[in-house]
């Protein structure tokens, strides 16, 4: 079964609010991963969990995009496109679960892949950029 790490300062982008949202995304992701292994939880519960992840992702993406625009991040358009694609990916997973017949382990792997991509690849360029720009201060390090 797929798993997610606990928060690490290695994931920090150096912005307290973004880091807190990242921590919450990881926490919601871990809750979803636990839910897929519980046969007593319905598909609707999984859909609701994914909708929570999607809602926070939208809020987080908007905050991050505003911050990056204010800091004149040079690859903002590409990062915004990546956000849209990742949200579409979650929406598609929600739709597949709604239709039924989706393997729960595949759902867990997809959510794990999405979140790990976020922390290890998608946010790496902005992590580097924000740290170099020192925008805006110390990161949150606890979960």
Query: pLDDT digits over 41-93, tens only?
Result: 999 999 999 999 999 999 999 999 999 999 999 999 999 999 999 999 999 99
Q: Which has the minimum average pLDDT: 10-14, 22-26, 68-72?
A: 10-14
Residue 132 has what pLDDT? 84
pLDDT at 143 over 80: no
Percent of the chain with pLDDT over 90: 69
The neighbour count for residue 97, using CB atoms within 10 Å, is 19
Residue 133 has what pLDDT? 79
Give CA–CA dist 88/16, Å, rounded. Answer: 26
Per-residue confidence at 139, pLDDT binned at 50, 70, 90? very low
pTM above 0.75, yes or no: yes
Q: Long-range contact list for 129-135, CB < 8 A, 24+ apart?
A: 129/68, 129/71, 129/73, 130/13, 130/14, 130/15, 130/67, 130/71, 131/13, 131/14, 133/71, 134/14, 135/14, 135/15, 135/67, 135/70, 135/71
């Amino acid at each position: 079964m797929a798993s997610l790490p606990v928060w690490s300062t290695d994931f920090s982008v150096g912005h307290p609010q973004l880091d807190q949202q990242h921590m919450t995304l990881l926490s919601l992701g871990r809750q979803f991963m636990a839910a897929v292994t519980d046969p007593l939880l319905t598909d609707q519960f999984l859909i609701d969990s994914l909708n929570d992840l999607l809602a926070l992702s939208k809020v987080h993406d908007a905050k991050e995009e505003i911050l990056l625009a204010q800091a004149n991040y040079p690859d903002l358009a590409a990062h915004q496109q990546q956000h849209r694609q990742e949200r579409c990916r979650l929406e598609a997973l929600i739709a597949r679960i709604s239709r039924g017949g989706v393997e729960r382990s595949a759902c867990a792997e997809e959510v794990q892949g999405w979140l790990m991509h976020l922390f290890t690849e998608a946010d790496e360029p902005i992590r580097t950029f924000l740290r170099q720009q020192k925008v805006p201060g110390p990161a949150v390090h606890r979960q």
